[in-house]
């Protein structure tokens, strides 16, 4: 193989690795927002139930 092919393969590997890191970071960010949203909904539901029970 020529050095040009090897350089292209190495560059493609680096691009793939960077893309994998970007996707993992994005997944963590989405998971964090989903957990926060679920906690907010749970607090609202608990507040409504508590208010209903103590009226």
Enclosing domain of residue 8: 1-55
Q: For the chain, how many structural domains are there in total?
A: 1
pLDDT reported for residue 1? 57
Q: Report how far residue 37's alpha carbon sits from residue 10's, in angstroms, rounded to the nearest whole number.
A: 41
Measure CA 32 to chain center. 7
Q: What is the pLDDT of residues 23-35, one digit of tens each?
A: 999 998 999 999 9
- Global pTM reads 0.64
Q: What is the pLDDT of residues 4-51, one digit of tens each?
A: 889 999 999 999 999 999 999 999 899 999 999 999 999 999 999 999
């Amino acid at each position: 193989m020529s050095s040009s092919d090897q350089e292209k393969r190495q560059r493609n590997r680096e691009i793939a690795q960077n893309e994998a890191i970007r996707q993992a970071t994005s997944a963590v960010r989405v998971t964090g927002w989903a957990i926060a949203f679920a906690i907010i909904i749970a607090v609202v539901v608990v507040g409504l139930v508590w208010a209903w029970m103590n009226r």
